[in-house]
């Protein structure tokens, strides 16, 4: 594990950081996001997805929602897809088998909100773990760690 960054962000700073972070992502990247409801996980992912579309010179998606109810939303880029998961309602790891989640990691850029249920099953996978904490209405503390296995 390597601690990459820990900082306080307002919304504009978060967007700027997301654009820089998007440049480091590629086919096979896995990004896990932890934090309380309303801490900014989906907003951060929205900024990254829009940046990935800009990088690939594609029209941005009209709307990027939280996948709380469908559990998975996908976005098609030129050579791969973006998978955006929300495990808030997942009760056990066997529910993830229906999503082919482990197979999808190598074929996409994957984002997972509420990843606690899967963390113990990532022993052979490199991933980013982002933790977001609410500081004030307009600021968040974010720590970014990279786990290399």
Q: What is the model's pLDDT at position 115?
A: 95
Please enumerate, as own/partner, the contacts of 103-107 that have beta carbons within 8 Å and a separation of 24 or more. Answer: 105/28, 105/30, 106/28, 107/27, 107/28, 107/80, 107/81
Please tell me the distance from the alpha carbon of residue 67 to that of residue 112, in angstroms, as a whole number. Answer: 10
Which DSSP state fits 103?
Answer: H
- Owner of token pair 């932890």: 34
Mean pLDDT value of segment 108-135: 92
CA–CA distance, 59 with 70 (Å, rounded to integer) = 23
In this model, does residue 8 exceed pLDDT 80?
A: yes
Rounded-to-integer distance, Cα 84 and Cα 111, Å: 5
- What pTM was estimated for this model as a whole? 0.91
DSSP per residue over 2-60, as a string? Answer: EEEEEEEE-HHHHHHHHHHHHTT--TT-EEEEEE-TTSSHHHHHHHHHHHHHHHTT-PP
- pLDDT exceeds 70 at position 121: yes
Residues 114-125, mean pLDDT to the nearest whole number: 88
Residue 19 gets the label, from left (phi > 0), alpha (psi -120 to 50) or beta, of: alpha
pLDDT at site 3: 52
**What distance in Å separates the CA atoms of residue 100 and residue 15, rounded to the nearest whole number?**
30
Q: Are 98 and 91 in contact (CB under 8 A)?
A: no
Average pLDDT of the segment spanning 132-137: 93
pLDDT for 52-107, tens place per residue? 999 999 999 888 888 887 889 999 998 889 999 999 988 888 888 777 788 888 88
Percentage of the residues of the chain whose pLDDT score is greater than 90 = 60
């Amino acid at each position: 594990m390597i601690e990459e960054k820990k900082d306080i962000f307002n919304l504009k700073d978060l967007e700027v950081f997301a654009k820089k972070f998007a440049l480091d992502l590629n086919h096979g990247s896995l990004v896990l996001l932890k934090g309380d409801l309303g801490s900014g996980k989906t907003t951060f992912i929205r900024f990254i997805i829009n940046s990935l579309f800009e990088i690939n010179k594609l029209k941005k998606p009209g709307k990027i929602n939280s996948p709380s109810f469908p559990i998975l939303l996908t976005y098609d880029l030129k050579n791969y897809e973006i998978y955006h998961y929300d495990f808030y309602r997942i009760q056990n790891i066997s529910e993830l088998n229906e999503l082919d989640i482990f197979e999808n990691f190598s074929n996409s850029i994957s984002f997972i909100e509420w990843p606690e249920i899967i963390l113990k099953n990532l022993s052979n996978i490199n991933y980013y773990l982002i933790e977001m904490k609410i500081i004030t209405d307009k600021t968040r503390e974010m720590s970014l760690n990279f786990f290399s296995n």
